[in-house]
Structure 1
Amino acid sequence: MEFIMAMLMAEMAILVFMNVVMRYAFHSGVSGTEEIARLSFIWLSFIGAVVVMISGGHLGVDMLLQKLSPKSRLSVGFLGRLLMGGALGLLAWGSWQQIIANDGVVAMGALPYPLAWNYAAGLFAGVGGLLCVLRDIVRLAKGDSRFLTCAASEDEREIAAITASIKTLGRVPLPDDDRHGQKGK
């Protein structure tokens, strides 16, 4: 999926750049490039959402989770995943309904394409996200709640531990430190 995202991004950049150069340099343009770029951006966004969900990289606030017991953390994580599953199910269902409603409808513009292609990206993201939520629910059922902690909070804890160890060691003078009278004399 990351390769597809890279290809979509490259294609968007090339098409938009080419069209800008054609407009300003030659007072013309290539028809259909805006529609292709728009469709590519829609798919890029939704594929990216699934890729980030697979890796667990979406934003999260885990201040409450850090203060809970492991059993409570599992319960809250399970409830959160059920709510996410409901929202993603609505996204998938709504996208499917739009695909059906727009069956045979062609996008108006320089490049006619089935309008259902736009909504297929939402269906892809809804189903892909639901699969990730199901994976997380299985992990929670096995008692693993480590993935519920945000990566940023893990980094913050590591930084706090390093800072605390530096404070216990005391300040170590740096080579350009003139507090001890070495620099400038």
Structure 2
Amino acid sequence: MKTGLKDKSIKIMEFIMAVLMAEMAILVFLNVVLRYAFHSGISGTEEIARLSFIWLSFIGAVAVMFTGGHLGVDILLRKLSPKPRLLVGFFGRLLMGGALGLLVWGSWQQIVVNQGITSMGAIPYPLTWNYAAGLFAGVGGIIWVLGDLMRLLKGDMKCLEFGAVEDEGELAVALASVQPPVLSENPGHQEK
């Protein structure tokens, strides 16, 4: 995916996530205030918040994929020479693509099965909206995997690096700053 399109896609997803988060916070806060202060409430806020949270989670997963922020374990990859690293990375991306393909297939099957069925809550909405979030995440993830596979085919292994900690020096400094708790001399005595 071209950088300009990728950056615009990430910005759009971040904006949608911010709107969903604000909407959830406002609805839930307003409902809590109404219930405790006025012994009433807005019916349907739970359903709206639940649907918003589903979409927030799946949009967030795709946005984090595009930015390279998901957790990963690269201990094996760091030990390998470039050629095996490329092969292992390529095979790993193929496995990820397969898992995302299963997500797309399963979400699509649920959309087909639940076509025309509405939720039984205070606000009836099509149940397919829940499963459409999984379809979105699966397709977005497959696009990301295909981009990585194309980079790996060109020999660019930068996509196999994780961006959370740039080098071991940063990690060593971060770990050194964490102080272990001081244990009491007397195991039965607890300090207050």
- Contact in 2 for aligned 1:88/1:129 (Cα 8 Å): yes
**1:86 is matched with which residue: 95, 98, 122?**
98
Count of paired positions: 161
Kindly, what percent of the aligned residue pairs are identical?
A: 76
SS at match of 1:152: coil
Contact kept in structure 1, 2:69 and 2:164, CA below 8 Å: no
Q: Residue in 2 aligned with 1:36?
A: 48
Aligned to 2:132: 120
Compute the RMSD of aligned alpha carbons.
Answer: 1.3
- 1:77 deviation in Å? 0.4
Distance of 1:38 and 1:152 partners within structure 2: 30
Give the direction of change, closer, same or farther, for the CA distance of 1:82–1:109 in structure 2 (3 Å limit). same
Q: How much has 1:153 moved relative to structure 2?
A: 4.5
Matches within 5 A, 1:1-150: 1-150=13-162
Q: Which runs of 5+ in 1 are unaligned?
A: 162-185
Q: Could you tell me the TM-score, scaled by structure 2's length? A: 0.81
- The two structures have a TM-score, normalised by structure 1, of 0.84
CA distance, structure 2, for counterparts of residue 152 and residue 8 of structure 1 = 26
Whether contact under 8 Å (1:99, 1:116) holds in the other structure is: yes
Q: What SS does structure 1 have at the residue aligned with 2:56?
A: helix
Aligned structure 1 segments of 4 or more residues deviating by more than 3 angstroms: 157-161
Q: Report the equivalent of 2:178.
A: none
Whichever of the two has the greater Rg, that structure is: 1
Q: Which runs of 5+ in 2 are unaligned?
A: 1-12, 174-192
How many angstroms apart in 2 are the aligned matches of 1:159 and 1:115? 45
SS in 1 for 2:167: helix
The Cα shift of 1:26 comes to 0.5
Amino acid in the other structure paired with 1:17: F
